[in-house]
């Protein structure tokens, strides 16, 4: 119960501290009103030690003891100022985040920029309760900071609230602030570990004749891959060599190596997320085999093609699939 209450109080404070509704528009500038300072455990111990020394100096009327206390107290006050300035007026801009699969780590990149002529030293950034990363920002320069977040669900993953803090230079006080950049990561469905073979039958393999040969001219052989159709294996070439690798026939026309990945070819008993995982596996296998493939979803159709752009478009369609809508 106490932990829940503390969490609610912390979230209330964070909403007040952000002062704007997340996500925040770029650039995010950590103004003086957004930077908060509190003593660390070392700082509290430091203050306690000063109190003990001051009591001893007052009790024994030691002028050097008073001088030592005031000197160390002044050092503590200066430390507060330097720790605060190390974070204040820092500029944060969203960078890039490459798409990932479910189960991987989404890596959000932030651009930290300092307009001041001095170095921002030992800045720590973290999200949730993850281990922080530490960066320095040079005078009037920019630095990239990458934060990892576990991708547990397909679709758009917004960057969670980031905390940036520093205890430089002496670790006596902690200055911190919060930021929620407008940055999202596209999460693809995880490819199925086991999936049915690529759908070569019927319309799915246009350009192939009934005897299993492509409609275009034969252009050569290559090493067999798992995604290759069995009828494209060069059995005669394999038979002429002992213990040799399987070889696959290649044809000069793209139509000879063209298939359709169709949502409706999968059994009705397969759940939606599993269907998407199987389609993702088929896409990766077809791309690895150099095939031209097309995608059919209930409300979307992607024309046959191959290459990185085709793969990215297909995986994006799967990632954003919602309730029968592509």
Tokens of 298: 């209930």
Q: Kindly state whether residues 16 and 161 are assigned to the same domain.
A: yes
Per the structure, the complete domain to which residue 162 belongs is given by 11-188
Per-residue model confidence (pLDDT) at position 9:
81
Same domain for 243 and 169? no
Same domain as 153, residue 66:
yes
Regarding whether 232 and 113 lie in a shared domain, the answer is: no
CA angle 257, 262, 267 (to 5 degrees): 125
User: Are 174 and 249 in the same domain?
Assistant: no
Predicted local distance difference test score (pLDDT) of residue 254: 45
Q: Say if 195 falls within a structural domain.
A: no
Together in a domain, 158 and 209: no
Tens of pLDDT, residue by residue, the chain (326 residues): 777 787 788 778 777 777 677 888 989 999 999 999 999 999 999 999 999 999 999 999 899 999 999 999 999 999 999 999 999 999 999 999 999 999 999 999 999 999 899 999 999 999 988 889 999 999 999 999 999 999 999 999 999 999 999 999 999 999 999 999 999 999 999 999 988 888 875 444 544 433 334 445 555 556 666 656 666 676 655 665 666 677 676 655 544 467 999 999 899 899 999 999 999 999 999 888 888 999 999 989 999 998 999 999 999 999 999 865 55
| Confidence at residue 227, expressed as pLDDT on a 0 to 100 scale | 55
Cis peptide leading into 169, omega within 30 of 0? yes
Whether 29 is covered by a domain: the verdict is yes
225 belongs to a structural domain: yes
Asked whether residue 293 is domain-assigned, the answer is: yes
Q: In whole angstroms, what separates CA 307 from the centre of its chain?
A: 24
Do 146 and 274 share a structural domain? no
List phi, psi (to 5°) of 99. -60, 150
Residues 103, 151 within the same domain: yes
In a domain, 326, yes or no: no
Q: Kindly state whether residues 174 and 248 are assigned to the same domain.
A: no
- At 208 the pLDDT is 43
State how far Cα 183 lies from the chain centre: 10
Compute the CA torsion angle 46, 50, 56, 62 (nearest 10 deg).
130
Domain count, the chain: 2
DSSP 210-260: TTS-BSS-EEEEEE--TTS-GGGB-HHHHHTSTTPPPEEEEESSGGGGEEE
CA dist., res. 254 & res. 42, Å (int): 69
Q: Are residues 215 and 299 in the same domain?
A: yes
Is residue 1, in this structure, part of any structural domain at all? no
pTM value is: 0.79
pLDDT at 197: 84
Specify whether 36 is located in the same domain as 90: yes
Contacts within 8 Å (CB) and 24+ apart, 30-34: 30/87, 30/88, 30/89, 30/90, 30/91, 30/92, 30/164, 30/177, 30/179, 31/88, 31/89, 32/88, 32/89, 34/177, 34/178
Q: Which residue among 131, 153, 188 closes a domain?
A: 188
Looking at the fold, whether 68 and 114 belong to one and the same domain comes out as yes
Q: How far apart are CA 174 and CA 237, in angstroms?
A: 72
Judge whether 173 lies within some domain: yes
- Residue 2: inside a domain, yes or no? no
Contact assessment for residue 151 and residue 103, using Cβ atoms and an 8 Å cutoff: yes
> Looking at 129, 154, 188, which one is the last position of a domain?
188
Last residue of a domain, one of 188, 216, 240: 188
The end-to-end CA distance of the chain, in Å, is 43
């Amino acid at each position: 119960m106490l932990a829940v209450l503390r969490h609610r109080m912390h979230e209330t404070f964070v909403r007040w501290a952000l002062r704007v509704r997340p996500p925040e528009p770029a650039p995010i500038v950590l103004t003086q009103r957004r930077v908060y300072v509190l003593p660390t455990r070392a700082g509290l111990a430091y203050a306690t030690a000063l109190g003990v020394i001051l009591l001893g100096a007052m009790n024994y009327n030691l002028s050097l003891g008073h001088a030592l206390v005031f000197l160390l107290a002044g050092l503590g006050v200066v430390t507060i100022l330097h720790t605060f300035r190390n974070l204040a007026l820092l500029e944060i801009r969203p960078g890039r985040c490459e798409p990932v699969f479910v189960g991987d780590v989404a890596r959000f990149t932030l651009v930290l920029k300092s307009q001041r002529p001095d170095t921002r030293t030992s800045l720590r950034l973290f999200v949730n309760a993850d281990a922080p990363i530490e960066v320095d920002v040079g005078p009037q320069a920019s630095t990239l900071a990458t934060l990892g977040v576990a991708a547990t669900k397909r679709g758009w993953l917004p960057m969670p609230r980031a905390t940036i803090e520093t205890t430089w230079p002496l670790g006596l006080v902690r200055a911190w602030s919060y930021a929620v950049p407008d940055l999202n990561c596209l999460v693809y469905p995880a490819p199925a570990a086991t999936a049915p073979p690529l759908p070569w039958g019927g319309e799915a393999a246009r350009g192939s004749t009934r005897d299993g040969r492509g409609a275009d001219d034969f252009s050569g052989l290559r090493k067999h891959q798992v995604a290759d159709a069995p009828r494209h294996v060069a059995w005669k070439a394999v038979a002429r060599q002992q213990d040799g690798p399987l070889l696959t026939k290649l044809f000069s026309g793209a139509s000879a190596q063209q298939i359709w990945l169709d949502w409706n070819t999968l059994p009705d008993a397969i759940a939606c997320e599993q269907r998407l995982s199987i389609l993702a596996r088929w896409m990766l296998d077809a791309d690895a085999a150099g095939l031209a493939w097309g995608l059919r979803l209930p409300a979307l159709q992607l024309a046959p093609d191959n290459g990185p752009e085709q793969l990215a478009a297909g995986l994006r369609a799967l990632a954003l699939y919602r309730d029968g809508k592509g």
